[in-house]
Amino acid sequence: HETKVHYTSDPNVLYAVDYTSSGGTDLRRPVRSTDRGTSFTPLPGDPTGGTGVYRLAADPGATDRVLLTDWNRLYFSSDGGQR
């Protein structure tokens, strides 16, 4: 797995892909930190349902613009993945 932390214009706000297994299911979900990486929470607006994020990119000049890809689509969020 390629896990990278993506930095934004605010050093408190970071994005990454969380590779976790839960209940026998392998998750690949986008996560966000608002405390410099001390903790991460899944993005509530994940269009892949938490199992299909292939890549994530965050805009280094903003805190709320995120790109996600699954195996077939490119998704853009202008609200930090909230919807």
Question: How much is the pTM?
Answer: 0.90
Q: Please count the other Cβ atoms lying within 10 Å of the Cβ belonging to residue 21.
A: 8
Q: Which two tokens stand for residue 7?
A: 């930095």
pLDDT tens profile 42-54? 999 999 988 889 9
Sort residue 12 into left (φ over 0), alpha (ψ -120 to 50) or beta. Answer: alpha
Higher-confidence position of 49 and 2: 49
Grade residue 2 by pLDDT with cuts at 50, 70 and 90. Answer: low
**What is the sign, positive or negative, of the torsion defined by CA atoms of 46, 56, 59, 35?**
positive
The predicted pLDDT at position 62 comes to 97
The predicted pLDDT at position 20 comes to 86
Given a cut of 80, whether residue 3 has pLDDT beyond it is: no
